[in-house]
Structure 1
């Protein structure tokens, strides 16, 4: 990933100095942690304090909280693109697919603020559209390679990846507070369903219990 200024509303994308890029990434990381812990209503002053930078440094990168929220999501898309590139570079195509799907599940389960960010942002914003185009191109390459090499079922379409990632995100969001790691069971089932050889692997992650389902439902109601 190239070092660029992803601030929303910038007329041209300008390379950042190394120290400026480090600060931008610190701000993004701090915002992600606060969004996960306290929701999206934190202030830029809160983020600056958590990142250990001056408030002016935050405002030089982001004019307001909505721009920061967008910046967090763009950085997430860049991270997914990096994982997609790694999947393409893997000599074992199936292992590359497994690693990619596992990363998506881990990132959504580990960063509870991402789901809220995805609901809040304008998905048609130029910076997001640009990052999505790059990611979509990489997904298409991973998909085509998987089908051509016979590791993905030929009926699987590139656009199915969006649904797979969304399902992992939804399961992680609903169950992580009451039954951490449950999403891995549905990743296992998902991978079994898309592999071309039809081999079924033993499920390593237990199913939810009735009590865990009730707890997850109660926790869901409390957050609404």
Structure 2
């Protein structure tokens, strides 16, 4: 077989791969990571075997769909560090994350998921944690963020808003923004704010996340 004969096969394979990724974006956005290869194959209009030939595991498909979007969000957090104030940056990050979680259940699951994850997603977490710590430290130092809030509080707050978005937005689109604003008001430093108690240690945050947040399904 000549290289001329090979080229159409490679083009077909790339077209199928692109079609599968687009279909997976739609399936995961609607169903979260509970979406299956069968769902993706049906959405793409291809056979199940074609999906498996392009992506041997669900992790590989999830990575192909969301790797760039996670990188873009890291860029959002990096830009927030240069906002006029730490509070402005924090509000931008939380508002952007809430909007993304509300419009794409798969992205929500990717950011909050526990258990085995694609390697690039572990790198995303490694990049995000120091950036969020810097942002929280800046807002606290400037006096806009209450002094007893830590970066470990942010995943819990995002999970709460994500739950409101997942269950409330289908009833009233955008209702999560109301509760995001309530949370933001509660994060502001105030002389009348009640004490929060001891902040979460990282091991405690991990324990809570393991029992609450979604896990990546291999099917």
Q: TM-score under structure 1 normalisation?
A: 0.62
- Higher helix residue share: 2
CA distance in 2, matches of 1:196, 1:187: 16
Indicate yes or no: 2:99 matched with 1:106: yes
Query: Which residue of 1 is the match for residue 173 of structure 2?
Result: 180
Correspondence for 1:136 among 129, 137, 140: 129
Query: Which residue of 1 is the match for residue 24 of structure 2?
Result: 31
**Residues 164 and 151 of structure 1: is their aligned pair in 2 closer, same or farther, counting only changes over 3 Å?**
same
CA distance in 2, matches of 1:93, 1:151: 8
Query: Which residue of 2 is the match for residue 196 of structure 1?
Result: 189
Offset of residue 126 of structure 1: 2.8
Do the aligned partners of 2:161 and 2:180 also contact (CA within 8 Å) in 1? yes
CA distance in 2, matches of 1:28, 1:147: 41
Offset of residue 74 of structure 1: 4.0
Structure 2: unaligned runs, 5 residues or longer: 1-15, 193-219
Correspondence for 1:163 among 134, 153, 156: 156
Offset of residue 153 of structure 1: 0.8
Query: Which residue of 2 is the match for residue 40 of structure 1?
Result: 35
CA distance in 2, matches of 1:90, 1:24: 39
**Residues 82 and 26 of structure 1: is their aligned pair in 2 closer, same or farther, counting only changes over 3 Å?**
farther
Higher normalized contact order (CA 8 Å, seq sep 6+, divided by chain length): 2
Describe the superposition over 1:131-158 as per-residue Cα deviations: whole angstroms up to 9, x where unpaired. Answer: 1110111111111111111121110011
CA distance in 1, matches of 2:123, 2:30: 29
In angstroms, what is the RMSD of aligned CA positions?
A: 3.4
**Residues 89 and 123 of structure 1: is their aligned pair in 2 closer, same or farther, counting only changes over 3 Å?**
farther
Structure number with greater Rg is 2
CA distance in 2, matches of 1:189, 1:120: 25
Structure 1: unaligned runs, 5 residues or longer: 1-22, 200-224
Bigger mean CA deviation after superposition, 30-39 or 175-184: 30-39
Q: TM-score under structure 2 normalisation?
A: 0.64
| SS of aligned partner of 1:89 | coil
